[in-house]
Structure 1
């Protein structure tokens, strides 16, 4: 299983502490492709640690300058030539961490005891890639069928009883990014389960929209992270009263809740909506995702 060991996490934490605030925020945006909004430097550092695939990948990021690694090694008593190239410093740092001789501070910025417990539970008990017979694509298909049926049931024009929609389907710290393009471009962000639930509900109940996902191969992609995060990306069409108004692309980040029978809950949502005026000839019948596998890999790593 990929990921950082306790020693690597502690070492990377020390290096992150020596970086500028601007570089830490920038690096957090890079490793999450700007889909996770952080509130402060500690949360940004914790996000970087949690979403890095391995220590080498993190050390080789452009924002992790060679001077930072050189100074870290010096503090650990490792003498290196002042003109050592970054690759050599990275290699020596990884050797130090694998030797078990590095000083280990187990506290990770942005992690509370509750967060550490949840991440540990997900890694040990719900590592999606390690489960026998687990298929992220099947999960994605089942999730989309459930989610859009649930959400669309809130549309009063359908004349059917609304199903049990609400904040209970989201993690408390969920974040929604909503990008709409019609005559102009507008970006909105909503933090927290209550606000996210209400904003999505308003799209369907107040604006009377109907979201129809394309669950064919061109419209649906999924990716499982070694940390327990599953990304579900789906494209579809937007309707109102029988008229097709545009298309949408939506990415969900799903994580299991060990305290709720390991049920999947939504960690973040990224929704892009394009009206007819912004389509420029895009296929309205079965829209395809613009996100490729590489972009999704960056989100889950």
Structure 2
């Protein structure tokens, strides 16, 4: 049976989005949409009823039982960059734009890649005698591809997306401008989207210092490669402050010479929060290699405080 108010593409999109609801929530939504006239015996029957009795995408997504978090999870799964703090109406607009074909996703770009054109950032040989070379090469790739997502950024051959992260990747983000703030994210989609939103939505550009004490690398006894880098953060032509970032990279056991991001710790300190005497021209990492190793406790990297 065709939907009374949804196009075929909207039906397909709504069906995928509704799958994120727990069964009890889905049944409750069905009762609301159908005024308890339909009594589904399965999840698929419930979803079908919701689609049939919904007059428009906006009407359905504005339902109280379609939580903001559900819409955010759906967009994340599709590779649509949105700020985690976006209001529900903003998320609904993004969904409508996506279903109308106005948005290109990171996930679709990733699927379009040819098999032999694997991301340069994922494939890395690890010289046993020189971890530093790995760290420098990784940073060159990472910040090039991240900055390329800026609305005015220089485009990169690489594709940004969750494919560069382990599924259980973790990110801790501290920023100190007028006050200290801390955020945490878990999962390849969430980590990827948060980093993307810094550049694409908040229009930040990262300028890493890959020379001298701006870059330090080490390897833990568990095989985690630790890459610590410092640099400056910019918006337009203004230097906003400095950043320090530590990555934890782990090799993929089923793909030779392949490395993905397991941990990301990012700290940004605004100009107005810098300690007296701190310079932004050549930010440096204060940790030594052995201290980087000590930061790793066997489970995850301990975040530095802002």
TM-score (norm: length of structure 2): 0.53
Q: Deviations over 1:125-148 (max 9, x none)?
A: xxx9xx765410000000000000
Which residue among 225, 229, 233 is the counterpart of 2:228?
233
Confirm or deny that 1:285 pairs with 2:301: no
In the other structure, the counterpart of 1:173 is: 168
The number of residues matched between the two structures is 172
Change in 2 beyond 3 A, CA 1:132/1:180: closer
Change in 2 beyond 3 A, CA 1:132/1:202: closer
Change in 2 beyond 3 A, CA 1:159/1:223: closer
In the other structure, the counterpart of 1:266 is: 261
For 1:213 and 1:147, the matched residues in 2 are separated by 10
Which residue among 203, 206, 228 is the counterpart of 1:208?
203
Confirm or deny that 1:146 pairs with 2:125: no
| Counterpart secondary structure, 2:284 | coil
For 1:206 and 1:162, the matched residues in 2 are separated by 21
| Counterpart secondary structure, 2:294 | helix
Q: Deviations over 1:185-236 (max 9, x none)?
A: 0000000000000000000000111101101121110001232111000000
- Give runs of aligned pairs for residues 104-123 of structure 1, distance below 5 A: none
Which residue among 189, 192, 195 is the counterpart of 2:187?
192
Structure 1: any 5+ residue segments left out of the alignment? Answer: 1-127
How far apart are residue 270 of structure 1 and its match? 0.4
For 2:226 and 2:160, the matched residues in 1 are separated by 21
For 1:229 and 1:181, the matched residues in 2 are separated by 28
| Counterpart secondary structure, 2:192 | helix
- Partners of 1:247 and 1:274 within 8 A in 2: yes
Confirm or deny that 1:298 pairs with 2:294: yes
| Counterpart secondary structure, 2:212 | coil
- Partners of 2:136 and 2:210 within 8 A in 1: yes
Structure 2: any 5+ residue segments left out of the alignment? Answer: 1-124, 298-306
- Partners of 1:154 and 1:163 within 8 A in 2: no
In the other structure, the counterpart of 1:164 is: 159
How far apart are residue 295 of structure 1 and its match? 2.5
| Counterpart secondary structure, 1:196 | helix
Higher relative contact order (CA 8 A, sep 6+): 1
- Partners of 2:224 and 2:248 within 8 A in 1: yes
Q: Deviations over 1:81-112 (max 9, x none)?
A: xxxxxxxxxxxxxxxxxxxxxxxxxxxxxxxx
